[in-house]
Amino acid sequence: MRALVQRVSEASVTVDGTIIGQIGPGLLILVCAMQGDTADKPAALAAKIAKLRIFRDEAERMNRSLLDVGGAALVVSQFTLAADTSRGNRPGFSAAAPPADGEQLYEAFAEALAGLGPQVERGRFGADMKVALVNDGPVTIWLDV
């Protein structure tokens, strides 16, 4: 699985003009299931992200995790993270998991993350979503597990 994690002061996702997920301080997590991902990947990715020390401590150093600060997470599926741009100008997405597998792994990731304690809001798999965020820092981290 692949994720792009952004530390945010706020974020939301809108579908058909309606906000379906919204958080204050925490993480916006764009998630992509990749070809060959196994059932253990969602929990591994959730644990890595929950413990990722990218929030400021009292000394203003990135030394605290989402769990440490009690932040929330907005989890949004994004198959375009699998883009292959090695040839030509049109990205290919064949490295992404098929939609049925991708949805199952996305939901398993969101459940695993929620099981670790943070409030988890979600986008809608396969929907045309409008994502708004205020990136805090900015801090943006790319993860593969």
- Kindly report whether the global pTM for this prediction surpasses the value 0.85: yes
* 111 within a domain of the structure (yes/no): yes
* 145 within a domain of the structure (yes/no): no
Contacts of residue 38, defined as CB under 8 A and 6 or more positions apart, other chains included, come to: none
- The yes-or-no answer on residue 22 being catalytic is no
6, 55, 78, 109: which is the annotated catalytic residue? 78
80, 93, 109, 119: which is the annotated catalytic residue? 80
Residue 36 maps to which CATH number?
Answer: 3.50.80.10
Number of domains in the chain: 1
Query: Which residue range is the domain that position 48 belongs to?
Result: 2-138
What the block records as the tokens of 20 is: 């379906």
Question: How would residue 83 be classed by pLDDT, with cut points 50, 70 and 90?
Answer: very high
What the block records as the tokens of 144 is: 């593969």
Longest dimension (CA), the chain: 47
* 144 within a domain of the structure (yes/no): no
CA distance 77 to 48: 18
Q: Give pLDDT tens digits for 34-69.
A: 999 999 999 999 999 999 999 999 999 999 999 999
Q: What's the pLDDT score for residue 137?
A: 95
What the block records as the tokens of 57 is: 């401590």
Q: Give pLDDT tens digits for 93-124.
A: 999 999 999 999 999 999 999 999 999 999 99
